[in-house]
Amino acid sequence: MKDDLILRVVSKLTMPFMLLFALYVQFHGDFGPGGGFQAGVIAAAAIVFYGITFGLAAAQRLVPEIVVERLLAAGVLLYAGVGLAGILLGGNYLDYFVLGADTVAGQHRGIFWVEAGVGLTVAGVMLKLFYMFASRGRDAGDA
29-32 long-range contacts, Cβ below 8 Å, gap at least 24? 29/115, 30/108, 30/111, 30/112
Shortest distance, position 114 Cβ to other proteins, whole Å: 5
Asked if residue 98 lies in contact with residue 87, where contact means CB atoms within 8 angstroms, the answer is no
Give CA separation, 138 vs 36, 44, 57, in Å: 31, 20, 10
Say how far apart CA 138 and CA 133 lie, in whole Å. 9
Non-local (6+) Cβ contacts of 32 within 8 A are none
Question: Among 15, 19, 45, 98, which residue sits at the site for other proteins (rule: CB under 8 A)?
Answer: 45
Does 41 interact with other proteins (rule: CB under 8 A)? yes
User: Binding to other proteins (CB under 8 A): which residues in 58-117?
Assistant: 69, 72-73, 75-76, 79-80, 83, 94, 96, 103-105, 107-108, 110-111, 114-115, 117
Residues in contact with other proteins by the rule CB under 8 A: 25, 29-35, 37-38, 41-42, 44-45, 48, 52, 69, 72-73, 75-76, 79-80, 83, 94, 96, 103-105, 107-108, 110-111, 114-115, 117-118, 121-122, 124-126, 128-130, 132-137, 139-140
